[in-house]
């Protein structure tokens, strides 16, 4: 429905491969990673898991989300272009067909010159309709003008409708997947960014949930209590009448948590003992009822990227294992340049397929999206170099002070 790789971006991509930006003497872009970005599953010797680097369409990639369709295919969507916030940054997708050993080539779903798209989320309805939600903002104008667009597919994501504006309140942002209550109510977690970005003024950002009881025809917005400075809520249904949300903190202190009985009235957000570096985290409930949480185990760098496991509804997190510890000698200075290859492992998305495999996809140095696959026991057999080491019964919330 949209044109293929624009000639200008293709030229920029080729130039970026030869430029290899450097910081403090370190080359940032790694040609070996781009060489492996073909979607093929390979053993990861450091992790002892299978890993795939998804095919690169544009120079920069960020903010993936995973979903398994009813036909067994797994889709990964993210935003990609010259750089976040720039004109023409679009929504792209790669598909892992059921039984395949390689992800398909990355394809463009949606883009618009003069605008920058972000944070795609997939949701397949009971009748098979596939919904895609993502943000749109005026290019290089900051995030406070963002709105949320909606597209649909009736052929499992091979073709898509034209985008329509769904939520037009300025600063509306998606990030995490839909939750469906036992009565059929849809809950779309969102946040309102009333600042230009994640720095000055972001302490006034807040989180909301959008609820629909008629399959998305109409929506009711519910502000999450005590969520000022807390964004990107990731929500799971623990049991009927018991929802749990974890939130990103603009203060770079802790992951915050909130609970709800109906998805609209939320307890005031309270800090957990898990660190947060003002970057996205994602929570997922496994088939056996255990919870996994993918997050940056830091209050500063976007590394290490870790996954934690809880067997008591998030009251404690006894097991934490690193997915990425980063390159030795690369620190804050190598994380800040706005170029592909910078030292960043972030914005994880986690899901469990019907066969029990856990998949985590995440931003890999902004060069590509990396996907790793493992089983639950793998988490129990590892450790972390981050602030939370695991095996210490990290509790869900700290006391006063």
Q: Evaluate whether 286 touches 352 at the Cβ level (below 8 Å).
A: yes
Residues 6+ apart with CB under 8 A from 226: 258, 267, 268, 269, 270
Tell me the β-bridge partners of 208.
190, 223
Tell me the β-bridge partners of 320.
308
- Evaluate whether the domain defined by 7-395 bears CATH number 2.120.10.10: yes
In this predicted structure, what is the pLDDT of residue 343?
98
In this predicted structure, what is the pLDDT of residue 105?
98
In this predicted structure, what is the pLDDT of residue 392?
61
Q: Closest Cα partner for 258 from 236, 281, 289?
A: 236
In this predicted structure, what is the pLDDT of residue 22?
74
| Domain layout of the chain by residue ranges | 7-395
Quote the CA–CA distance of 112 and 87 in Å, as a whole number: 8
Quote the CA–CA distance of 55 and 39 in Å, as a whole number: 6
Provide DSSP, 21-64.
Answer: -EETTEE-S-HHHHHH-S-B-EEETTTTEEEEEPPPSSSEEEEE
Q: Closest Cα partner for 143 from 195, 86, 191?
A: 195
In this predicted structure, what is the pLDDT of residue 113?
98
Quote the CA–CA distance of 188 and 206 in Å, as a whole number: 15
Quote the CA–CA distance of 164 and 149 in Å, as a whole number: 5
In this predicted structure, what is the pLDDT of residue 9?
42
Quote the CA–CA distance of 163 and 132 in Å, as a whole number: 9
Q: Evaluate whether 269 touches 396 at the Cβ level (below 8 Å).
A: no
Burial call 356-380: b when 16+ CB within 10 Å, e when fewer: eebbbbbbbbbbbbbbbbbebebbe
Residues 6+ apart with CB under 8 A from 295: 255, 274, 275, 276, 281, 282, 305, 306, 307, 308, 348
**Blockwise average pLDDT, block size 10, the chain, 401 residues:** 42 43 78 96 96 98 98 98 98 98 98 98 98 98 97 98 98 98 98 92 97 98 97 98 98 98 98 97 98 98 98 97 97 95 98 98 98 98 94 57 28
């Amino acid at each position: 429905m949209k044109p293929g790789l624009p000639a200008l971006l293709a030229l920029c991509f080729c130039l970026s491969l030869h430029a290899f930006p450097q910081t403090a003497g370190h080359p940032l872009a790694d040609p070996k990673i781009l060489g492996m970005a073909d979607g093929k599953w390979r053993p990861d010797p450091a992790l002892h898991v299978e890993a795939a680097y998804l095919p690169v369409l544009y120079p920069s990639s960020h903010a993936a989300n995973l979903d398994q369709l009813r036909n067994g295919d797994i889709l990964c969507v993210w935003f990609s272009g010259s750089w976040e916030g720039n004109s023409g940054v679009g929504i792209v997708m790669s598909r892992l067909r059921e039984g395949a050993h390689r992800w398909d080539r990355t394809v463009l779903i949606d883009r618009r010159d003069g605008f920058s798209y972000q944070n795609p989320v997939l949701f397949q309805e009971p009748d098979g309709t596939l919904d895609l939600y993502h943000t749109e903002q005026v290019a290089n104008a900051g995030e406070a003008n963002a709105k949320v667009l909606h597209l649909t597919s009736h052929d499992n994501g091979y073709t898509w409708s034209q985008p329509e504006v769904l939520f037009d309140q300025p600063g509306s942002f998606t990030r995490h997947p839909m939750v469906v209550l036992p009565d059929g109510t849809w809950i779309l977690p969102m946040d309102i960014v009333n600042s230009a970005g994640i720095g000055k003024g972001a302490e006034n950002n807040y989180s909301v949930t959008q609820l629909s009881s008629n399959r998305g025809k109409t929506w009711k917005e519910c502000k999450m209590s005590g969520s000022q400075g807390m964004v990107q809520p990731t929500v799971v249904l623990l049991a009927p009448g018991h929802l749990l949300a974890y939130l990103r903190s603009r203060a770079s202190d802790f992951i915050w948590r909130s609970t709800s009985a109906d998805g609209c009235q939320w307890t005031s957000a309270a800090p957990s003992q898990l660190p947060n570096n003002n970057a996205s985290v994602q929570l997922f409930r496994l088939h056996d009822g255990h919870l996994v949480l993918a997050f940056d185990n830091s209050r500063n760098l976007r590394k290490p990227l870790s996954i934690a496991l809880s067997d008591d509804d998030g009251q404690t997190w006894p097991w934490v294992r690193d997915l990425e510890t980063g390159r030795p000698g690369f620190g804050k200075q190598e994380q800040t340049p706005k170029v592909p290859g910078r030292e960043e492992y972030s914005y994880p998305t986690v899901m469990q397929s019907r066969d029990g495999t856990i998949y985590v996809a995440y931003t890999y140095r902004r060069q590509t999206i990396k996907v790793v696959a493992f089983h639950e026991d793998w988490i129990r057999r590892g450790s972390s170099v981050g602030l939370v080491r695991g095996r210490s019964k990290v509790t869900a919330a700290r006391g006063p002070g």
